[in-house]
Amino acid sequence: MDLQCPAPLSRHETVQMAHGAGGVMSRELTRNVFLPFFGNSMLDMLDDQARISLESGNIAFTTDTFVVSPLFFPGGNIGDLAVNGTVNDLAVGGALPLYLSAGFVIEEGFRLSGLTKIVAAMADAAAEAGVSIVTGDTKVVGKGQCDGIFINTSGIGVIRDGVDLSCNNLREGDAILVSGSLGDHGMAVMTAREGLSFQSEIASDTMALNRMISSILHEVPEVHAMRDPTRGGLASTLNELAEASGKGIVIEEDCLPVKPEVQGACELLGIDPLTVANEGKVVVAVRGDRAEKVLRIMQSHEDATSGRASIIGAVVNEHPGMVIVRTGLGGRRILEMPLGEQLPRIC
Amino acid sequence: MDLQCPAPLSRHETVQMAHGAGGVMSRELTRNVFLPFFGNSMLDMLDDQARISLESGNIAFTTDTFVVSPLFFPGGNIGDLAVNGTVNDLAVGGALPLYLSAGFVIEEGFRLSGLTKIVAAMADAAAEAGVSIVTGDTKVVGKGQCDGIFINTSGIGVIRDGVDLSCNNLREGDAILVSGSLGDHGMAVMTAREGLSFQSEIASDTMALNRMISSILHEVPEVHAMRDPTRGGLASTLNELAEASGKGIVIEEDCLPVKPEVQGACELLGIDPLTVANEGKVVVAVRGDRAEKVLRIMQSHEDATSGRASIIGAVVNEHPGMVIVRTGLGGRRILEMPLGEQLPRIC
């Protein structure tokens, strides 16, 4: 009789259905691929939940699933994107990001070498941001039942005492800043997907912003609100701020930092760069007389801003709920909330 | 000129790519489908993160992505399954489940009526378990890029003072209990998927166990470990307990509660019911002299146990890391950790 032995993971080059079924092969995937990169005292327990001791019970909690296509793009991949995105969602709420979960849905046949690259990028991004991945889950679905890999990251951070950031806090005279150039991530993914090439490669700005945000909040308590302009870009973020606060926002078109190669790609594809996703930028609303201070702190985090941090506009009492762009020639146009079709699977 | 107006959600019967793009239509989906069911003061803020005040910083944190197929099965759907699964993962760690996140990946063209049913089931399950869904995310992928809908739920609970559950706590003489019949969920999904019908319909046991577990922990501090036997079934759970504790486990086959219709379906499909997923059962290891007390508490939660709570075995110092089943005729066999292929996409 020819008995079939359980095949160890090392014999496989791709993910199999059995890697997601909770038995021997699930355990092997966890031990051979995830733990070597993510390992820490909480995750190593391999319990159904991580037990955490926080200094305070005032926490921020967020979740995001990443379905970006292609999985690898100039400047990053779905792994670092998934970590940085959730770190930033915590940071813009005024929280110190600490712990992340990672939930994988993997298509049968996905190459283990690709999975390992993604997991390594997650581990590097987590180390860079100072967070730990403490709990996780892996599901495998059949060939054609998902597109490669989807990753959910949820995150927990502790909210600093005295920090109260909210769209409702916007006041007339607040300055609006953005920490760097707009549209880099979305156009990096789009041009990679469409196979377009430009003289200068467009790279994603995926990056954890928690250290820069921490400096800003530490030094400038007059910050009223922060958001990271991801899906829907600056246009969505500003409209959300205006609508939630019942204030108007005026933006100076000449002050908007957009790299020439991003502008060129947008024109080619007929896309407004203000509606394109960013993954390493923050929009800040701060009392007007403190705007220069915030700008200098942003500029001191050169890696995060590429020298393009800018004061781009102001909060007004007029036209509540609306965002107006003033053009260089003295014209004015309404910056609308994008409807949303242009850029699917950008994050 | 024939301007095309933004189409309101009510004009659509299915989910469109634009519903996941962070603009007007994303907002409509959130406001018209999610908020009416999940709405609470934290979620209603629609910030990128929920801000939560917990009584203690000792918390449990867990994540699970649900990819069950079919989405609707006897006894439940992917929605209540996703809520109950994460509630149970917190509860078996000794935590009081409080807050959940919900991350959706939806296939373009998915019917809004189906999504609404799923969301309603999540809301009902959350209310039943006493938890709130406080933060969420929705991604839409193209036709054929995922299989209907995948849902990630992550959860936070506060760990009770003095509760210390861990596989490492297992001691010789501990009794092993299971709170009800085995294999119901997995076989409900399998028979629904395969279109098999039996005289008695097999229904999933999906259910939140936090109230029953809370009673047990309150009244019996001598509980050493708890696990919910989901993927890989009782066989995986017992092997994990044995391996992590370095103890042996002996199970009495005659004491294992398996419904006749589940046994019949398993025989037909050539599957061992001990390897089949449960979604509303808990395995408890407790000091032997307190086993009867735990059993009575389980039995008092009739809805969760269907009168089938059982003491099924004991922890021994012999054969460390191994699980032995004693058959009615005095035989003994090793219960191995399942390899994992048999039942894909069961949760």
Domain boundary among A159, A179, A207: A159
Mean pLDDT of B248-266: 96
Regarding whether B325 and B213 lie in a shared domain, the answer is: yes
Contact B21 A105 (CB under 8 A): no
Tokens of A208: 């954890």
In this structure, is residue A239 part of a structural domain?
Answer: yes
Task: With beta carbons under 8 A apart, name residues in chain A contacting B66.
Answer: 139
Give residue B137's identity as a one-letter amino acid code: D
Closest residue to A93, CB basis, from B48, B142, B277: B48
The answer to whether the Cβ–Cβ distance between A93 and B49 falls below 8 Å is: yes
Task: Find, among B20, B37, B36, the residue nearest to B104 by Cα.
Answer: B20
**In a domain? residue A4:** no
- With CB atoms and an 8 Å threshold, state whether A227 touches B18: no
Residue-wise pLDDT tens digits, A74-98: 999 999 999 999 999 999 999 999 9
With beta carbons under 8 A apart, name residues in chain A contacting B62: 48-50, 101, 135
Q: Per residue in B304-339, pLDDT tens?
A: 777 799 999 999 999 999 999 999 888 999 999 988
Peptide bond connecting A70 to the previous residue in cis, omega within 30 degrees of 0: yes
Q: A344 and B59 in contact by Cβ < 8 A?
A: no
Judged by CB atoms closer than 8 Å, whether chains meet at A105 and B65 is answered as yes
Whether A188 and A328 share a structural domain:
yes
Taking CB atoms and an 8 Å cutoff, what residues of chain A touch B63? 101-103, 135-137, 152, 154
3-state secondary structure of A169: helix
Cβ-nearest to A47 among B27, B93, B152: B93
What are the chain A neighbours of B160 within 8 Å (beta carbons)? none
% chain A with pLDDT above 70: 96
Q: For residue B79, give how far its alpha carbon lies from the nearest alpha carbon of chain A (Å).
A: 17
Q: Report which of residues B21 and A258 the model is more confident about.
A: A258
Measured CA to CA, the distance from residue A161 to residue A41 in angstroms comes to: 28
Q: Coil, strand, or helix at residue B41?
A: coil
Whether B153 and B179 map to the same domain: the answer is no
Nearest to B49 among A95, A140, A344 (CB): A95
- How confident is the model over A106-120, as a mean pLDDT? 97
Closest chain A C-alpha to B104 CA, distance in angstroms: 7
Decide if pLDDT at B203 tops 90: yes
**A340 contacts on B by Cβ (under 8 Å):** 17-26
Domain encompassing residue A122? 17-46+55-159
CA distance B235 to chain A (A): 9
Residue B342 lies in a domain: no
Q: Are residues A257 and A303 in the same domain?
A: yes
Q: Name which of A15, A42, A41 is nearest A26 in CA terms.
A: A15
pTM for this prediction: 0.95
Q: What is the C-alpha separation between B98 and B156, in angstroms, rounded?
A: 6
Confirm if B228 and B286 have CB atoms less than 8 A apart: no
Residues B309 and B195 in one domain: yes
Nearest-by-Cβ selection for B51 from A25, A60, A145: A60
Closest residue, chain A, to B92 (C-alpha): A48
Bridge-based pairing of strands A76-77 and A72-73 is: antiparallel
Give the number of C-alpha atoms closer than 13 A to the C-alpha of residue A38, restricted to the C-beta side. 30
State the average pLDDT over residues A253-275: 94
How many Å separate Cα B126 from the centre of its chain?
13
What local confidence, expressed as pLDDT, does residue A226 receive?
A: 97
What would the two tokens of residue A12 be?
């496989």
Residue A340 has pLDDT above 90, yes or no: no
Is B141 in Cβ contact with A67 (below 8 Å)?
A: yes
Is residue B2 in some structural domain? Answer: no
Residue range A255-266: mean pLDDT, rounded: 95
> What three-state secondary structure class fits B112?
helix
Of B340, B222, B342, nearest in space to B292 by CA? B222
Whether the per-residue pLDDT at A201 is higher than 90: the answer is: no
Rounded to the nearest integer, the mean pLDDT of chain B is 92
**Which CATH number does the domain housing residue B124 bear?**
3.30.1330.10
Shared domain check, A90 and A21: yes
A48 → closest Cβ in B101, B227, B340: B227
Q: Is there a single domain that holds both residue B138 and residue B189?
A: no
**What per-residue confidence (pLDDT) applies to A33?**
95
- pLDDT beyond 80 at A118: yes
* CB B67 within 8 Å of CB B185: no
- Mutation for A interface: B25, B154, B158, most A CBs within 10 A: B154
CA distance B232 to chain A (A): 5
Using a 10 angstrom Cβ sphere, with 0-12 exposed, 13-18 middle and 19 or more buried, the burial of residue B263 is: middle
Q: What pLDDT score was predicted for residue B201?
A: 86
Q: Do residues A176 and A311 share a domain?
A: yes
Average pLDDT over residues A308-331: 96
Q: Domain holding A276: CATH number?
A: 3.90.650.10
Q: Which of B17, B134, B141 sits opposite A341 (nearest CB)?
A: B17
B296 falls within a domain? yes
Boundary of a domain, candidates B159, B178, B207: B159
Residue that the structure tokens 């159904």 belong to: A48
Give the residue from chain A lying closest to B232, CA to CA: A22
* Rounded-to-integer distance, Cα B237 and Cα B230, Å: 8
How do residues B107-158 score in pLDDT, each as one tens digit?
999 999 999 999 999 999 999 999 999 999 999 999 999 999 999 999 999 9
B3 part of a folded domain = no
Show residues of chain A in contact with B50, CB under 8 Å.
60-62
- The residue in chain B having the minimum alpha-carbon distance to the alpha carbon of residue A27 is B339
The one-character DSSP state at B55 is: S
Is B135 in contact with A61 (Cβ distance < 8 A)? yes
CB atoms within 10 A of CB A298: 27
Do residues A38 and A15 touch, judged by C-beta distance below 8 A? no
Lowest mean pLDDT among A231-235, A299-303, B277-281: A299-303
Among B159, B180, B205, residue at a domain's last position: B159
Flag if A232 and B141 touch (Cβ within 8 Å): no
Three-state secondary structure call for residue A337: coil
Asked whether the predicted pLDDT for residue A6 surpasses 50, the reply is no
Q: Both tokens of residue B4?
A: 């095309």
Supply angle C-alpha A18, A23, A28, rounded to 5: 80
Cβ neighbours of A341 in B, within 8 Å: 16-18, 21
* Interval A269-289: pLDDT, tens: 899 999 999 999 999 999 999
- Cβ contacts (< 8 Å) between A58 and chain B: which residues? 51-54
**Residue partners of B56: CB distance under 8 A and separation at least 6:** A57, B158, B159, B161
Q: Extract the tokens encoding A15.
A: 């993910």
Q: Which amino acid is at A168?
A: N
Do B57 and A60 lie within an 8 Å CB cutoff?
no
A342 in any annotated domain: no
HSE on the CB side for A334, CA within 13 Å? 10
Same domain, B259 and B186: yes
Using only the alpha carbons of chain B, give its radius of gyration: 22
Q: Considering CB atoms only, which of A21, A140, A152 is closest to B232?
A: A21
Burial of B261 (0-12, 13-18, 19+ CB in 10 A): middle
User: Looking at residue B10, what is its pLDDT?
Assistant: 54
Of B45, B66, B146, the CB nearest to A145: B146
pLDDT digits (tens, 9 = 90+) for B29-80: 999 999 999 989 999 888 889 999 998 889 999 999 999 999 999 999 999 9
pLDDT tens column, A219-244: 999 999 999 999 999 999 999 999 99
Chain A residues lying within 8 Å of B152, measured CB to CB: 63, 65, 103, 152, 154
Residues of chain B with C-beta less than 8 angstroms from the C-beta of A142 = 344-345
The shortest CB-CB distance from A147 to any of B146, B339, B345 is to: B146
Nearest to A158 by CA among A217, A237, A79: A217
Going across the sheet that includes B95-107, the strands are A50-53, B58-66, B149-159, B95-107, B132-141
**Nearest-Cα residue of chain A relative to residue B239:** A23
Please give the tally of structural domains in chain A: 2
* Structure token digits, residue A45: 């327990």
* Chain B residues in contact with A343 (beta carbon < 8 A): 21
Are the C-beta atoms of A179 and A305 separated by less than 8 Å?
yes
Contact B344 A17 (CB under 8 A): yes
Distance CA B25, CA B22 (A): 7
Locate A156 and state its tokens: 């927990």
Shared domain check, A241 and A101: no
Provide the 10 A C-beta neighbour count for residue B41.
9
Question: Which helix (H) or strand (E) element contains residue B73?
Answer: strand B72-73
Q: Are residues A79 and A199 in the same domain?
A: no
Helix B78-91 to helix B112-129 angle (10° resolution) is 30
- Under an 8 A CB cutoff, do A154 and B150 touch? no
Residues B238, B184 share a domain: yes
Q: Is residue B4 a part of any domain in this protein?
A: no
pLDDT band at A131; cut points 50, 70, 90 = very high
Q: Give A118 to chain B, closest Cα distance, Å.
A: 18
* Pairs across A and B, CB distance < 8 A: 288
CA–CA separation, A18 vs A29, rounded Å? 10
pLDDT score for B194: 84
